[in-house]
C-alpha cells in the first residue's frame, strides 16, 4: 500500500527547499523530528479540505477498515465531539450513554447541549450494559435517539455491539461507539470492529493500539449510516480541531496503512497466542484477570494481596511501566511491538509473593440525578468547596473523573450521599459547584 503523505514529505526534505512558512523551526533540528514537521504548503493538501495526498491516504485507511475513514491528529477526543455534532445535526435530541464515557464525551455533551441518559453500570470503568434496560429506554420515547457506548473499556471489557446494534436498529436509534482502545479489533481473524458489528459511527485512537504517534486517530462511518454523516464529517472535525494539524501525526497514520497492509493481521494473531499463554501462566499462579479484550492484560490483584498501585510499583522497579493502576486494578496495554518484552513482564509479576487477600472494594456508583442541564451547569457561576461538604449541591465542573478520565459525576448533577463515598474512595478533595 502506498504512503502518499510520507512520500511527499520525504521528497520535500530531500529538495532542501527554503522554508519561508510555518513552523518556526524551519526544519532545523532541536528535537530530531523537525525536518518532517511541515504545514499546508503547496502539494501538502489540507486535512479538513482534503483533495490530494491526505485524501489518497484516507482512502487507503478506508480500504483497510472497509468503511469511510477520516483522520484526526487530535485523538479520539476530537472524533467524539465530531460524532456528537453529527448526531445533533441529524436531529438527535435524546442520547443514551454507557456510564464509562470518557471526559471528552462529557465536555462535548455540555457544549452541544446534550444531557445523556446514563445506562446503569456495575463499575465506573466497566462497559457492561444491561440490554433489557437499554431496550426499555429505547422504547420509552419517540424522540430521535442515539446510543453512545464506550467499548472496549479501560479494563479490557467488551460490550456486545451486535446485540446493542440490533436493539438500536429495531427502534430507529443511531449507534455510536467510542472504540478509542480498539483500532486493532478490525484486524482479528474475525473483525470485532464496531462498524462491522452494526455501529453507524465510531472513533478509534490509532495511537493507543497501533504503531502510531500520540494523537493519531480515526473517525469511521459505516456504509449503512446516513449519507449526511460522511458529507459533514470533515466540517464536524474542523469545528473542534486545530487549524494546524500535525503533519508528523498525519505521516504516522499514513505509514500505519502500509504497516497494516504488510502482514499486520498475522503478526497480531501470533502475538495474541503469546499473550494468552502469558495470561494462563498468571492465572495458574493465582492471579485473577478480567476482561476479554485480547491485547489488554488486566489484573484484579486484591485477592492476591496487592493493590494495583503496589503491583505497578513492583513493575516500575523492574523497569516496566504499566498503562494504569488504581486500588483495584492493574492494566497493561500490549501490542505486537511488545513481543520481546512479554516474558520480562510476566517474570516480574510472578516474582510478587502471594499475600493475604485485601477485602475492601470500590463503593457502588453514585447515580446522581440531574438538577439542571450539563450546559447550564458548565456556564453557571461556580465556587470551589470541600468535596466532603458538597452534599445536595449541583456540580459545576464538567466532570469529576476517577482516573482514567471516567466521570464519577457530571456537571448539572445534584451530589448525593453515595457520591461523597465515591469522592472519598477516589481521593477527590475539592470540587466546583454551582453558586447558590
Ligand X SMILES: Cc1ncc(COP(=O)(O)O)c(C=O)c1O
Give the interface with ligand X as residue ranges (CB under 6 A): 75-77, 102, 104, 150, 154, 178, 180-181, 205, 217
Closer residue to ligand X in complex, CB, 3/76: 76
- CA atoms of 5 and 399, how far apart (whole Å): 38
- CA atoms of 434 and 395, how far apart (whole Å): 6
- CA atoms of 231 and 54, how far apart (whole Å): 17
Residue corresponding to grid cell 475513514 = 69
Closer residue to ligand X in complex, CB, 223/292: 292
Closer residue to ligand X in complex, CB, 173/179: 179
The backbone region for 161, taken as left when phi is positive above 0, alpha when psi lies in -120 to 50, beta otherwise, is alpha
C-alpha R_g of the chain: 23
Q: What one-character-per-residue DSSP string does 297-351 give? A: EEE-GGGGT--HHHHHHHHHHTT---SEE-SS-EEEE--GGGTTTHHHHHHHHHT
In angstroms, what is the minimal distance from the CB of 34 to ligand X? 24
- CA atoms of 329 and 308, how far apart (whole Å): 5
Name every residue whose Cβ is closer than 8 Å to that of residue 430 and which is 6 or more positions away in sequence.
384, 385, 386, 387
Closer residue to ligand X in complex, CB, 121/180: 180
Closer residue to ligand X in complex, CB, 98/251: 98
Closer residue to ligand X in complex, CB, 76/126: 76
Closer residue to ligand X in complex, CB, 304/324: 324
In angstroms, what is the minimal distance from the CB of 155 to ligand X? 11
> CA angle, 101 as apex, 85 and 58 as ends, to 5°?
50
In angstroms, what is the minimal distance from the CB of 74 to ligand X? 7
In angstroms, what is the minimal distance from the CB of 402 to ligand X? 13
b/e per residue 17-47 (b: at least 16 CB within 10 A)? eebeeeeeeebeeeeeebbbbbebeeebbbb
Closer residue to ligand X in complex, CB, 352/401: 401
In angstroms, what is the minimal distance from the CB of 100 to ligand X? 7
Closer residue to ligand X in complex, CB, 87/349: 87
Q: What one-character-per-residue DSSP string does 139-161 give? A: HT--S-EEEEEE-S-TTS----H
In angstroms, what is the minimal distance from the CB of 343 to ligand X? 27
In angstroms, what is the minimal distance from the CB of 173 to ligand X? 21
Q: Which of helix, strand or coil describes residue 128?
A: coil
In angstroms, what is the minimal distance from the CB of 104 to ligand X? 5
223, with CB counted inside 10 A (0-12, 13-18, 19+), is exposed
In angstroms, what is the minimal distance from the CB of 169 to ligand X? 24
Closer residue to ligand X in complex, CB, 246/382: 246
CB 66 within 8 A of CB 196: yes
Strand 296-299 versus strand 330-333 pairing type = antiparallel
In angstroms, what is the minimal distance from the CB of 151 to ligand X? 9
> By Cβ distance, which residue is nearest to ligand X?
75
Amino acid at each position: 500500500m502506498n504512503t502518499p503523505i510520507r512520500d511527499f514529505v520525504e521528497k520535500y526534505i530531500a529538495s532542501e527547499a527554503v522554508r519561508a512558512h510555518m513552523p518556526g523551526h524551519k526544519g532545523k533540528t532541536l528535537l530530531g523530528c523537525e525536518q518532517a514537521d511541515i504545514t499546508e504548503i503547496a502539494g501538502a493538501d489540507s486535512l479538513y479540505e482534503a483533495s490530494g495526498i491526505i485524501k489518497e491516504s484516507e482512502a487507503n485507511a478506508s480500504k483497510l477498515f472497509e468503511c469511510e475513514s477520516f483522520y484526526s491528529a487530535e485523538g479520539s477526543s476530537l472524533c467524539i465531539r465530531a460524532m456528537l455534532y453529527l448526531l445533533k445535526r441529524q436531529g438527535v435530541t435524546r442520547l443514551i450513554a454507557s456510564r464509562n464515557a470518557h471526559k471528552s464525551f462529557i465536555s462535548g455533551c455540555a457544549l452541544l447541549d446534550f444531557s445523556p441518559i446514563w445506562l446503569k453500570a456495575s463499575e465506573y470503568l466497566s462497559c457492561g450494559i444491561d440490554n433489557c434496560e437499554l431496550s426499555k429506554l429505547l422504547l420509552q420515547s419517540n424522540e430521535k435517539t442515539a446510543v453512545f457506548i464506550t467499548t472496549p473499556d479501560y479494563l479490557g471489557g467488551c460490550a456486545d455491539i451486535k446485540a446493542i446494534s440490533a436493539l438500536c436498529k429495531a427502534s430507529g436509534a443511531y449507534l455510536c461507539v467510542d472504540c478509542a482502545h480498539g483500532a486493532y479489533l478490525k484486524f482479528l481473524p474475525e473483525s470485532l470492529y464496531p462498524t462491522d458489528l452494526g455501529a453507524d459511527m465510531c472513533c478509534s485512537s490509532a495511537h493507543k493500539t497501533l504503531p502510531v504517534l500520540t494523537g493519531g486517530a480515526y473517525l469511521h462511518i459505516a456504509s449503512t449510516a446516513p449519507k449526511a454523516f460522511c458529507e459533514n464529517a470533515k466540517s464536524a472535525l474542523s469545528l473542534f480541531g486545530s487549524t494546524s494539524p500535525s503533519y508528523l501525526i498525519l505521516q504516522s497514520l499514513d505509514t500505519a496503512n502500509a504497516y497494516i497492509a504488510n502482514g499486520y493481521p498475522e503478526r497480531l494473531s501470533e502475538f495474541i497466542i503469546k499473550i494468552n499463554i502469558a495470561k494462563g501462566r498468571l492465572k495458574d499462579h493465582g492471579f485473577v484477570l478480567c476482561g476479554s479484550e485480547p491485547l489488554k492484560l488486566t489484573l484484579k490483584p486484591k485477592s492476591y494481596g496487592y493493590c494495583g498501585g503496589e503491583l505497578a510499583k513492583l513493575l516500575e522497579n523492574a523497569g516496566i511501566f504499566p498503562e494504569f493502576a488504581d486500588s483495584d486494578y492493574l492494566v497493561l496495554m500490549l501490542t505486537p511491538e511488545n513481543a520481546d518484552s512479554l516474558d520480562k513482564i510476566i517474570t516480574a509479576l510472578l516474582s510478587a509473593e502471594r499475600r493475604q487477600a485485601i477485602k475492601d472494594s470500590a463503593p457502588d456508583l453514585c447515580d446522581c440525578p440531574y438538577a439542571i442541564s450539563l450546559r447550564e451547569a458548565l456556564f453557571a457561576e461556580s465556587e470551589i468547596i470541600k468535596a466532603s461538604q458538597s452534599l445536595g449541591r449541583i456540580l459545576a465542573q464538567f466532570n469529576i473523573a476517577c482516573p482514567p478520565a471516567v466521570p464519577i459525576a457530571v456537571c448539572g448533577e445534584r451530589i448525593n450521599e453515595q457520591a461523597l463515598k465515591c469522592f472519598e474512595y477516589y481521593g477527590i478533595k475539592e470540587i466546583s459547584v454551582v453558586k447558590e
